[in-house]
């Protein structure tokens, strides 16, 4: 299986359950691993034979900077659904991790995150 990786895409959004999250917003990071056969793209050197990571970035940006969700679980699911819908024949599976580096919770931690897997991944 071949993969396209998009690591630590950064956005500012208004997702969350707490009023401060939806009023002030916060940073979000997204990391993705997309399973796709890259052999034909490698042989032809043609963008038409692969998944455009620039297009994937724009899909994710629209979601993260768009309509607020309460849960990052819902954000991850929307990303997975929309990216797979954009490339229904190319994408075999994907992993999406949505990270909140600075959630408004007390304590010491590096970040909180959810990760989902949809489709075939090895």
Q: Which residues contact 45 (CB under 8 A, 6 or more apart)?
A: none
Cβ atoms 104, 21 nearer than 8 A: yes
Q: Which residues contact 58 (CB under 8 A, 6 or more apart)?
A: none
Please name every residue paired with 119 in a beta bridge, in sequence order, or none if there are none: 93
CA distance 33 to 6: 7
**Known catalytic residue at 67:** no
So which residues are the catalytic ones?
100
């Amino acid at each position: 299986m071949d993969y396209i990786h998009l690591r630590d895409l950064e956005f500012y959004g208004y997702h969350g359950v707490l009023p401060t999250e939806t009023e002030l917003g916060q940073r979000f990071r997204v990391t993705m691993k997309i399973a796709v056969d890259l052999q034909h793209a490698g042989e032809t050197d043609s963008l038409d034979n692969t998944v455009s990571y620039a297009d994937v970035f724009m899909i994710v940006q629209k979601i993260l900077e768009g309509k607020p969700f309460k849960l990052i679980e819902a954000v991850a699911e929307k990303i997975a659904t929309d990216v797979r819908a954009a490339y229904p024949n190319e994408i075999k599976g994907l992993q999406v991790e949505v990270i909140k580096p600075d959630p408004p919770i007390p304590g010491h931690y590096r970040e909180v995150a959810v990760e989902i897997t949809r489709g075939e991944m090895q």
